[in-house]
Amino acid sequence: MTTYDFIARNWLELTQLAWQHTVFVGIALAIAIVTGVPLGVYLTFNRRLADTVLYLAGIMMTVPSVALFGLMIPILSVFGHGIGTVPAIIALVLYSQLPILRSTYAAIRSVDPAIIEAGLGIGMTRAQVLLKVQIPMSLGVIFAGVRVAVVMSIGIGAIAAYIGAGGLGQYIFNGITQTFDAMINAGAVAVSAMAILADFLFGRLEKKLVSRGLRRD
């Protein structure tokens, strides 16, 4: 059976798995962005903490994803969520923190001190300088980090099937155990397509949100 035939025959199931995949990756990313961006911004005001946090986030990235999902099981079993969607989401949040944190932190810090001084000098409060100057100026770089996190999470999300979270990874794992190439391919193609589509959509959103004044052309 060709990959095409497989997809055509299992269209409904594929869509369901893709939706499952989208949901837990989406939830994980939403949490990662909502926590990572403010934390990254906060870290710019606390150098010492920044070094520690970025170091820890860096270590997190070095843990192989399969191992991280595996580690979730004993820890979350205590709360009765050893396997399934919850540990998958937590692992993905931890994974995507680093690119988001690091890009936010770097972007906010790279704003020219002269611009901050100008803002304060003309009578903006520190919060206004942050919200109206530093963050809008950093959006492009923050978006770059978010896009890395998005693509990465969709890919790593496939491994979450290993701990029973479902999603497109299920086709890949089942395909491997059944040595069913068409199934593996269908899962892999769908994951890639999803990553490409998500990256494209975030690219569009970035273009919309980032000021024209910051674009280089």
Partner 1 sequence: MIELDRVTKTYPGATQPAVESISLRVPEGEICVFIGPSGCGKTTLMRLINRLIPISSGSISVNGQNIMGLDPIELRRRIGYVIQQVGLFPHMTVRDNIGTVPKLLGWTKAKIDERVDELLTLVNLNPKSFRDRYPRQLSGGQAQRIGVARAMAANPPIMLMDEPFGAIDPINREVLQDEFLSIHAKLRKTVIFVTHDINEAIKMGQRIALLNEGRLVQTGLPDELLNRPANEFVKNFVGTDRVLKRLNLLKVKDAMMLNPVHCLDDDASEKVLEQMIRQDLAFLIVADRDHRLRGYVNRRDLRGHKGKVGDVAGRLTLTVSPERNLKEALSQMLSYDLGILVVVDEAGHIQGVLNSTTLFKLVGDTYDERGGHWERITAGGRIL
Interaction pattern, residues 121-150, with partner 1; x per rule: CB under 8 A:
xxxxx--x---xx--xx-------------
| CA separation for the pair 126, 182 (Å, rounded) | 57
The reply to whether 213 sits near partner 1 by the rule CB under 8 A is yes
Interaction pattern, residues 96-125, with partner 1; x per rule: CB under 8 A:
----------------x-xx-xxxxxxxxx
Using DSSP, how many helices (H) and how many strands (E) does the chain show?
10, 0
Nearest in space to 96 (alpha carbons), one of 156, 22, 163, 168 = 156
Residue nearer to partner 1 on the CB measure, 37 or 89 = 37
The reply to whether 41 sits near partner 1 by the rule CB under 8 A is no
The reply to whether 211 sits near partner 1 by the rule CB under 8 A is yes
Nearest in space to 45 (alpha carbons), one of 116, 99, 121, 95 = 116
In terms of C-beta density within 10 A (0-12 exposed, 13-18 middle, 19 or more buried), how is residue 74 classed?
exposed
Residue 154 CB, shortest distance to partner 1, in Å, is: 30
Positions in the binding site for partner 1 (CB under 8 A):
112, 114-115, 117-125, 128, 132-133, 136-137, 210-214
